[in-house]
């Protein structure tokens, strides 16, 4: 995804003088061509993410549209105060880009696992939050965020789903994409783990289960209607995210349903439930370890549907005139 992001930035930079890219001493091979072609639109601030956001905000307030680039936790948690107080509060055109969403940097351990970022960034006022699921969404999201006023967060993943775009399809921020039709249950996924959700949906077809698969590429603003439609038209919702279950996509879907007074027949959150992701390994290994690979997703869906199959109605308690429950 990061290569497509940089290519798209280069295309924009060739025609728009406002674009500016900053990095905190990261991505040399990825950013080399951009830095060579646009030396006056690029700055490496060194390992100083907090300072990077401050500089980016200053440039943005002078008319630039600034993308800051670093590893997931470093570009968000290390400089959260600056993102909140400088970029968001002033409505500055600062686009915080995090490479390595979820377990992308799995072998480097918890310091490089970005598993709380969506929850934290979506809580910031006036912050747009985007996590593309495939390469097309990555390119389109980059263009869309360049054109979106104010502070934005772009979470890029090492993994990506296979191409899902239809011919002539238009990408719209805040509008989920239905990438697979089905009525038995809805798989709502955000980020590159969309690929695992699609793989799980394929395997569930063999069990006679037809999944609707939604790519929730925009966490904020959120597409409420796509979730309400899933509640009305399918047998339930399973959220899939390479992120803690606390405050991320699953929490957002649950909040949305409760706010709107709509209850899915079945509901399950798939994500990190183990606290800190203390295991070290590849992204694929960590997905297996923490129960969010395609096999685990398919198993969870099948079990959920089986447990939620129609049963005989529970007997109702009769209430006497005095208010006590009868037998």
As a whole number, mean pLDDT of residues 271-293 equals 95
pTM of the model: 0.92
List the helix and strand counts (H, then E) for the chain.
Answer: 12, 12
As a whole number, mean pLDDT of residues 192-208 equals 97
Residues 260-263: contacts with CB within 8 Å, 24+ apart? 260/224, 260/228, 262/228, 262/231, 262/232, 263/231
Side-chain-side CA neighbours of 38 within 13 Å: the count stands at 22
Burial class (CB in 10 A: 0-12, 13-18, 19+), 279: middle
pLDDT band per the 50, 70, 90 thresholds, residue 308 = confident
As a whole number, mean pLDDT of residues 190-218 equals 97
- Give the whole-angstrom CA distance, residue 83 versus residue 90: 10
Count of CB atoms situated within 10 Å of the CB of 103: 31
Q: Confirm if 52 and 99 have CB atoms less than 8 A apart.
A: no
Side-chain-side CA neighbours of 131 within 13 Å: the count stands at 33
- Give the whole-angstrom CA distance, residue 60 versus residue 280: 38
Q: Confirm if 167 and 136 have CB atoms less than 8 A apart.
A: no
pLDDT tens, residue by residue, 211-225: 999 999 999 999 999
Q: Identify the active-site residue in 37, 49, 62, 303.
A: 49
- What is the per-residue pLDDT for 309? 61
Q: Is the peptide bond before 221 cis (omega within 30 degrees of 0)?
A: yes
Is 49 one of the annotated active-site residues of the chain? yes
- Give the whole-angstrom CA distance, residue 197 versus residue 43: 38
As a whole number, mean pLDDT of residues 9-14 equals 97
Does residue 139 have a pLDDT over 60? yes
Instruction: Give all domains of the chain, ordered by start, each with its CATH number.
Output: 2-156 (3.40.50.970), 177-307 (3.40.50.920)
- Give the whole-angstrom CA distance, residue 116 versus residue 125: 17
**Among candidates 1, 161, 136, 149, which has minimal Cα distance to 72?**
1
pLDDT tens, residue by residue, 232-280: 999 999 999 999 999 999 999 999 999 999 999 999 999 999 889 999 9
- Give the whole-angstrom CA distance, residue 83 versus residue 151: 8
Count of CB atoms situated within 10 Å of the CB of 126: 14
């Amino acid at each position: 995804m990061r290569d497509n992001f940089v290519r798209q930035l280069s295309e924009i930079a060739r025609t728009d003088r406002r674009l500016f890219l900053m990095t905190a001493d990261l991505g040399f091979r990825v950013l080399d061509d951009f830095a060579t072609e646009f030396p006056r639109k690029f700055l490496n601030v060194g390992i100083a993410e907090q300072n990077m956001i401050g500089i980016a905000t200053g440039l943005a307030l002078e008319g630039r549209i600034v993308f800051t680039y670093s590893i997931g936790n470093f570009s968000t948690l290390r400089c959260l105060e600056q993102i909140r107080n400088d970029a968001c509060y002033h409505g500055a055109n600062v686009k915080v880009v995090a490479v390595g969403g979820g377990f992308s940097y799995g072998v480097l351990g918890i310091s490089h696992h970005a598993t709380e970022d969506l929850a934290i960034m979506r809580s910031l006022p006036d912050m747009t939050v985007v996590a593309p699921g495939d390469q097309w969404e990555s390119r389109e999201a980059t263009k869309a965020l360049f054109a979106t006023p104010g502070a934005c967060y772009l979470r890029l993943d090492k993994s990506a789903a296979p191409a899902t775009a239809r011919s002539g399809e238009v990408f719209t921020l805040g509008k989920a994409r239905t990438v697979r039709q089905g009525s038995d249950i809805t798989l709502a996924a955000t980020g590159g783990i969309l690929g695992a959700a699609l793989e799980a949906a394929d395997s569930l077809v063999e069990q006679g289960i037809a999944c609707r698969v939604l790519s929730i590429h925009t966490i904020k603003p959120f597409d409420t209607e796509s979730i309400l439609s899933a509640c009305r038209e399918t047998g339930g919702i399973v959220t899939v995210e390479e992120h803690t279950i606390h405050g991320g996509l699953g929490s957002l879907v649950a909040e949305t349903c409760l706010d709107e007074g709509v209850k899915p027949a079945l509901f399950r959150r798939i994500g990190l439930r183990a606290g800190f992701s203390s295991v070290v390994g590849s992204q694929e290994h960590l997905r297996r370890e923490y129960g969010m690979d395609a096999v685990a997703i398919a198993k969870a869906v099948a079990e959920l549907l089986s447990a939620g199959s129609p049963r005989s109605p529970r007997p109702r308690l009769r209430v006497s005139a005095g208010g006590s429950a009868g037998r």
